[in-house]
Structure 1
Amino acid sequence: MAEADVYESRYHDFRVDTLAARLEYPWGLAFLPGGDVLVTERAGRLRILRDGELLETPVSGVPEVAVGGQGGLLDVILHPQFDDNRLLFLSYAHQTGEGRTTRVARAEYRDGALENVNVIFEALPRSNTTRHFAGRLAFDRDGYLYVPVGDRGDKPRAQDLSDDAGGVHRITIDGQPAPGNPFLDKDGARKTFFTYGNRNIQGMARHPVTGEIWSHEHGPRGGDEVNIIRAGTNYGWPEITYGIDYSGLPITDRTRAPGMAQPLHYWDPSIAPSGLAIYDGEMFPKWRGDLFVGALKFQKVVRLRVNDREQVVEEEDLLTDLGKRIREVKQAPDGSIWLLTDAHDGEILRLSAP
């Protein structure tokens, strides 16, 4: 482990340790009950960090992954009753002759191997782009799994409820539409949809107090958003946005429209957010309730404080001189905050009390 650097912030000083390196574009991580940590590499490998050492041999049984562009092996999440059932879930890009899409597989994890691997969700139709797979996963308190799918680089798909792209799907662990989903009785709509009008969600976390699922998503040039994922909500993409096209041309002249939700917060210019944690640990008590967001483009971590009226009242940039693209932010069981850096030689970093 490299010698730690100590940083100052408004409420806490913290140290940053490098726990592991030489990871190929790490994307997601999960903390196992015994102390091991699982880390996905976009290249298709699921790695194990054990006692501070990254094991050379990856987990066996990972399903076939389509690697290219923004696609590959994405998130990993444990079932809430993992101790009893050993179930975990992987999101990833998959390819057939009909194109690529986002899939979710369920598996049993035992001694460095995945067993009884089953695909429980596949976004349809497929397309030939390698963009906007989304893929960040979260469980709600009822044990239902939230699966965001990006618009796949085809903007109008996000407003089409007969198309799985551009929204958040809420499913059972068997892949069925979750009871109470808002479009179960809507003709022509995919029954797994929970929200739509979402461009490309790569940050998602359950609020430790309210139990609601919070998210952030990539805008184009500007217009990255923080939202609470609420049943049946249309978040507006691409009909409303605070961003413009990469060409510099407008996407729409509207930032508001009837029946479409406003973000709790947005960034302009875009920070390219990825990874989200809502802190509730004991290590940094003055950060409790704050959101921590990784930034790829601006290479930093953003701390947001939200009041009881769901308004962002404070924003602080952390690690601005680190010079690393932050892909994932996750609170560890001991209250430290772990980061994954987005690089061919990606790292696992840990923020802890000095």
Structure 2
Amino acid sequence: MGLAALVTLAAVGGTQAETYSSDHHDFSLEVVTDGLEHPWSLAFLPSGDILVTERPGRLQVVRDGERYTEVSGLPQVSAQGQGGLLDIALHPDFADNGWLYMSYAAETSDGGLHTHLARGQYSEGELSDVEVLFAGEPGMSGGRHFGSRIVFDDQGYLYLTIGDRGVMDSAQDTMGHAGTTVRLHDDGSVPDDNPFVGDDSGLDEIYTWGNRNAQGMVIHPDTGEVWQHEHGPRGGDEINIIRGGLNYGWPVVTTGTNYDGSTITEETSHPDMEDFIIDWTPSIAPSGMAFYTGDQFPDWEGDLFVGALAGQRVQRLRFDGEELVEQEDLLLDFARIRDVRDGPDGTLWLLTDESNGRLIRLVP
């Protein structure tokens, strides 16, 4: 377990850049662009452009290291507290159909707020044919714990994380969407084999529940399984493998405590609930997650990289199956890391959660 340490200076893009040493690779940081207001997510387009969401409700196109244009045609976003424009994902056949998916906080028909999912066809800085595919229910007050990450698995199913909206017990109530992972077809319809289809004890869209506030989700490159991490309260951040019909325990089971230090529960495991793979106590506030599959850092291949908000670092983890065998802190005390992506250029990409947020590449 090594701490990434500043060792020298190296030239990157013609400028002097700090070089860091890790257990397996030296790397430098290249700021691709800055001036982003609390960026939340990014997506790489086939054209080479990069889309970056900003939580206040903007979607920026980054081209050749510059904020090229702001995308028009977005759905109505409610930027309150932790809510706003959040994740984006390309349809697996984006090159052919142009569908771009986005998660965001918005008002519900009952006057509250909840996580929504919409898609639109993207072309040259514009969205058209925008449709809302999913709206969490019931609407809830407050601006906390919206989730929310989007991934498509190898079979084309779409997964969306939804936080407990700051109401602990909602994550155990399967008649609401708070504190769940939902699974949908790409058009927003519900798969027939979702756990509660034909069962009046839960909503059809729900795939898992007992999830506090998941802000990282990724498909394992070898197994195709859905890996997810979630914020605990004061401690109890977790990595889980998401499997349909399972209850992941919050708030019945946690290693964390309330923010005032008081006890939430004495239980750290339960026979009817799924145990975590690993947890972090004290909390690092994880956000963003990527398995590295590139060729620029060969000794990191297959490792999992997790951004940390409170921890202000990147966490590198190595697993043998589901067993953690190595963990390392990179860029300790660097910045609040909101997103981590495995780039098509073989490098790792980061977003920093700041009023002057940065899009950064880790390069050899």
TM-score bucket (shorter structure): over 0.9
**Which one-letter code corresponds to 1:326 in the other structure?**
I
Aligned residue among 146, 152, 157 for 1:144 = 157
| DSSP-derived class of the 2:70 partner | coil
**Which one-letter code corresponds to 2:100 in the other structure?**
L
Aligned residue among 88, 94, 97 for 1:82 = 94
2:92, 2:264 → 1: CA distance? 40
**Residues 229, 238 of structure 2: 8 Å contact kept:** yes
Aligned residue among 155, 160, 171 for 2:184 = 171
Aligned residue among 67, 71, 78 for 1:66 = 78
**Residues 5, 17 of structure 1: 8 Å contact kept:** no
Residue equivalent to 1:124: 137
2:18, 2:238 → 1: CA distance? 31
1:11, 1:110 → 2: CA distance? 40
2:29, 2:240 → 1: CA distance? 29
**Residues 100, 122 of structure 2: 8 Å contact kept:** yes
Asked if 1:251 is matched to 2:273, the reply is: no
Alignment RMSD (CA, Å): 1.1
Aligned residue among 318, 321, 324 for 1:312 = 324
1:321 is displaced (CA, Å) by 4.3
2:155, 2:280 → 1: CA distance? 32
**Which one-letter code corresponds to 1:319 in the other structure?**
L
1:152-231 equivalences under 5 Å are: 152-231=165-244
Asked if 1:265 is matched to 2:274, the reply is: no
**Which one-letter code corresponds to 2:72 in the other structure?**
S
Residue equivalent to 1:94: 106
| Partner deviation per Cα, 1:122-177 (whole Å, 9 max, x = no partner) | 10000111000001111101111101111001111101111111110000112111
1:210, 1:130 → 2: CA distance? 35
| Partner deviation per Cα, 1:50-104 (whole Å, 9 max, x = no partner) | 011112x300001111011100000010000000000010000002561111000
Q: How many residues align?
A: 350
1:352 is displaced (CA, Å) by 1.3
1:303, 1:88 → 2: CA distance? 29
**Which one-letter code corresponds to 1:133 in the other structure?**
F
**Residues 311, 333 of structure 2: 8 Å contact kept:** no
Aligned residue among 18, 25, 32 for 1:12 = 25
**Residues 3, 17 of structure 1: 8 Å contact kept:** no
Identity fraction in percent: 52
Residue equivalent to 2:5: none
The normalised TM-score by structure 1 is 0.97
Gap change, CA 1:163 and 1:279, over 3 Å in 2: same
Q: Where does structure 1 lack aligned partners over 5 or more consecutive residues?
A: none
**Residues 4, 18 of structure 1: 8 Å contact kept:** no
| DSSP-derived class of the 1:4 partner | strand
